[in-house]
Amino acid sequence: MTLEEVTLKLQSLQDDPNMQTYSKYSPTAPEWPDNRLPFVEIHLAYLRTHKTVNPAHYISNLELMIKKR
């Protein structure tokens, strides 16, 4: 998956009301309101720092974990 595809998929998860997506506070994120990183940015940062992770598998597992039941 390309960075654009990953970003679009994460954005679609964030916009889906059946998914639990939360922003998280980060003291190193002054450009975001209230220093809260959006869901998409959190997971893009993880994928950037963990280059060996397969993005398709990561997103697939993420979908299972955040689905509202």
Where is pLDDT greater, at 31 or 2?
A: 2
Confidence class for position 8, pLDDT limits 50, 70, 90: very high
Specify the pLDDT at position 27.
82
Specify the pLDDT at position 9.
96
The mean pLDDT of 34-53, rounded to a whole number, is: 92
The mean pLDDT of 53-58, rounded to a whole number, is: 96
Residue-wise pLDDT for 19-36, tens only, equals 999 988 888 777 877 888
Q: If DSSP states are collapsed to H, E and C, what string results for the chain? A: CCHHHHHHHHHHHHHCCCECCCCEECCCCCCCHHHEECHHHHHHHHHHHCCCCCHHHHHHHHHHHHECC
